[in-house]
Amino acid sequence: MIHSQRRNATAVTQTQKAGVSKWGWMVAGSVLAIAAATHVRADSHETIITSHGYTNFGELKYPADMTHLDYVNPDAPKGGEMSVWSRGTFDTFNNFTREGAAAAGTTILYESIMSATADDPYGSYCYLCTTLEYPESLDWVIFNLRDDVTFSDGTPFTAEDVVFFHELIMEQGLPEYVTVVEGYIESVEVLDTHRVRFNFTPEAPRRDVIGIAGSNRAFSKAWFEETGARLDESTDVPFLGTAAYVLGSFDTNRQIIYERNPEWWGADHPLNIGQANFDSIRYEYFTDTAAAFEAFKAGEYTFRMESSSLQWATGYEFPAIDDGWVIKEELPDGTIGSAQAFIFNLRDPKFQDPAVREAIRLMFNFEWSNETLFYGLYERVESFWQNTDLQAQGTPSDAELALLQPLVDEGLLDASILTDEAVIPPTSNASRPTDRGNLRTGSALLDEAGWMAGDDGMRRKDGEALTVEFLSASPGFDRIINPYIESLRRLGVDASLNRVDFAQYVERLNAPSEFDIVTHNMTQGFEPGSGLRQWFGSETAADSSRNLMGLRDPAVDRLLTNVINATSIEDMTAGTQAIDRVLRAKGFWVPQWNNNKHLVSYYDIYEYPENLPPYSLGNLSFWWYNAERADELKAQGAF
């Protein structure tokens, strides 16, 4: 999302799997929304649009008089607890800084001016506002804020808090956020207690401006001034928010419990009906994945999103399953395929050579891994927009060629990009860990690049050995990385695995020169916009939690601008396909694997709507607790 949230260093998190649309849970929009009123201001003669929501393409799914979202159970009972697990450690409740390791779940403490839904990929809706007003030029937007929104301490939320948040985050936020957004918002001004206006810079791409403004969080100016809290410092006290949950209790590195605020202002908001159903949400922390699974089997927590194919295929044979206490099922996941990959640190001179990267890429045998280690559960990642119309396929379309040809003419791209099919990962022989054909090809590539094998079989160039360190914090990845390392060593690469504790892992990721290869999840949204610069823009290459690879490429920068400036879905699609094609050709990643299903297991005390939405599993929000069934299982000693 475009918010300046700090890096979550876990490999694949529940939040990532449940993310919706282009900035996670917050969506930008742009064209006239349905049920929008228009009027002409006498002083300026410009048409002003007033609406309950905003979308770039087509019409909003929900009208202004909606009573609840289609995918929730409006009669869902309130009560009970949802308990999940988190890996690693935590030492701060501030997820807006890279200082320390942020606690899991902190995003549920805060709300934004506008909100997305899990079944409308392009729309966003007034949430902390009743309506928004904007001219056809999109030079500014006014949010008419609700007058009943309060922070969890009962104090009112006003336009001054909106201005405060913007100024705070621009002063103390992460550089990657400030770099991207400062070109969009010129100023923010209070019009009256519950009216606030965002003025946009003339050069700001209009498709993103309202979304960026609407994603501003509700932070209390008075609370920050009273406490002296800073956005760029670690804290063991969460910032004051307006959301359904507040921090109940915590035991550092062991447990966090968030409790529903009984005085929550938004309980009857149409977007909230059938949501925030649990009295409490509990996170249990484990540094070891095996220990976490054993704890689930023993009933120490009650809901589990499974990320291990080995565990899913072989581990779910235990008494609680046999007794019918635990349900194991696969639920559909309509989000964009996870762009999970090993990524090279391009700041290292040895990885700036495409031949070196390609030789290393060739040695990862996905086919063997999937058959032997993953039990055939996964598909290979091919694209940053996997399984969508935004994914580049085959040779470039005419619309793509129109974007790519000028870059070829200027020498920014190789001419082969115009005629070659979109790059897909190399295939390997599934019968053995090391594919011999790929080994020969990789060896030839390194020879041509000047990395010659010595008497000990290890490759050197100008007296320097070709070393590669895989940095990891997950024991579960050992069985995947170690065969890859053995294949690389057969190639003559001095490869190794350095598995460190979670805190050290976060610290090393925060120092751009402190790693060679790490696993990164670069999942994108259905409506790519300005957030692309955080992932792939040269301006964020020096220090970014998203552009971890340090990509600096003028051709990519130009293509990003094309997409960000696109005003039609056709132009956005062609531009994104062109970016996808070029990024894949750059070869800064070794694509891993993904799955189009949520692999979940949970104690039979939860229920969910019959028709789950495509873009969110929603277990923390629109699932609910079956108190009667919970009492039965407790009486049987299930947990």
- Which pLDDT tens digit goes with each residue over 417-437? 999 999 999 999 999 999 999
What's the average model confidence in pLDDT over 28-55? 62
Residue 476: predicted pLDDT: 86
How would you classify the pairing of strands 140-145 and 129-135? antiparallel
Residue 85 CB contacts under 8 Å (≥ 6 apart), including other chains: 283, 284, 285, 286, 292, 295, 296, 301, 304
Is the four-CA dihedral 373, 379, 382, 383 of positive or negative sign? negative
**Does residue 543 surpass a pLDDT of 90?**
no
DSSP line for 440-455: HHHHHHHHHTT-EE-T
Least confident of 147-161, 240-254, 429-443, 531-545: 531-545
**Does residue 26 surpass a pLDDT of 50?**
no
- Which pLDDT tens digit goes with each residue over 598-611? 999 999 999 999 99
What's the average model confidence in pLDDT over 268-283? 98
**Does residue 42 surpass a pLDDT of 60?**
no
Q: Label residue 579 left, alpha or beta by phi (over 0 means left) and psi (-120 to 50 means alpha).
A: alpha
Give helix 554-564 / helix 569-586 axis angle, nearest 10°: 160
Answer for the pair 384, 546: CB distance below 8 angstroms, yes or no: no
**Does residue 356 surpass a pLDDT of 80?**
yes
In the chain, what are the domains? 14-68+105-227 (3.40.190.10), 340-594 (3.10.105.10)
Least confident of 167-181, 328-342, 381-395: 167-181
What's the average model confidence in pLDDT over 276-281? 98
Answer for the pair 17, 331: CB distance below 8 angstroms, yes or no: no
**Does residue 381 surpass a pLDDT of 70?**
yes
Least confident of 179-183, 334-338, 594-598: 179-183
- Categorize the per-residue pLDDT at 201 as very low, low, confident or very high, splitting at 50, 70 and 90: very high
What's the average model confidence in pLDDT over 164-193? 91
Q: Label residue 217 left, alpha or beta by phi (over 0 means left) and psi (-120 to 50 means alpha).
A: beta
What's the average model confidence in pLDDT over 563-569? 92
Residue 581: predicted pLDDT: 98
Residue 507: predicted pLDDT: 86
Residue 439: predicted pLDDT: 98
- Which pLDDT tens digit goes with each residue over 399-409? 999 999 999 99
Q: What is the mean pLDDT of the chain?
A: 91
Q: Record the tokens describing residue 224, joined without a space.
A: 């920050």
Answer for the pair 625, 82: CB distance below 8 angstroms, yes or no: yes
- Helix or strand holding residue 190 (H, E): strand 185-192
- Categorize the per-residue pLDDT at 39 as very low, low, confident or very high, splitting at 50, 70 and 90: low
**Does residue 173 surpass a pLDDT of 80?**
yes
Residue 193: predicted pLDDT: 98
Answer for the pair 150, 185: CB distance below 8 angstroms, yes or no: no
Q: Record the tokens describing residue 285, joined without a space.
A: 């922390």
**Does residue 19 surpass a pLDDT of 60?**
no
- Helix or strand holding residue 50 (H, E): strand 47-51
Bigger pLDDT: 527 or 11? 527
The phi, psi pair for 628, rounded to 5°, reads: -65, -45
What type of residue sits at position 620?
Answer: L
**3-class secondary-structure state, position 613:** coil
What's the average model confidence in pLDDT over 506-518? 87
Residue 38: predicted pLDDT: 53
Residue 41: predicted pLDDT: 52
Residue 18: predicted pLDDT: 32
Residue 545: predicted pLDDT: 85
Q: State how far the Cα of 364 lies from the Cα of 595, in Å rounded to an integer.
A: 19
Answer for the pair 214, 113: CB distance below 8 angstroms, yes or no: yes
What's the average model confidence in pLDDT over 611-625? 96
Answer for the pair 30, 210: CB distance below 8 angstroms, yes or no: yes
Residue 44: predicted pLDDT: 57
**Does residue 10 surpass a pLDDT of 80?**
no
- Which pLDDT tens digit goes with each residue over 96-136? 887 888 999 999 999 999 999 999 999 999 999 999 999 99
Residue 43: predicted pLDDT: 53
121-158 CB burial, b ≥16 within 10 A, e <16? bbbbbbbbbbbbbbeeebbbbbbbbbeebbbbeeebbb
Query: What is the pTM (predicted TM-score) of this model?
Result: 0.85
- Categorize the per-residue pLDDT at 530 as very low, low, confident or very high, splitting at 50, 70 and 90: confident
- Helix or strand holding residue 312 (H, E): helix 309-314
Q: Label residue 304 left, alpha or beta by phi (over 0 means left) and psi (-120 to 50 means alpha).
A: beta
Q: Which among 94-103, 355-364, 538-547 has the top mean pLDDT? A: 355-364
Residue 21: predicted pLDDT: 34
Beta strand segments in 274-374, E: 280-286, 303-305, 326-332, 340-344
What's the average model confidence in pLDDT over 469-486? 94
Residue 544: predicted pLDDT: 84
What's the average model confidence in pLDDT over 234-248? 96
Residue 37: predicted pLDDT: 59
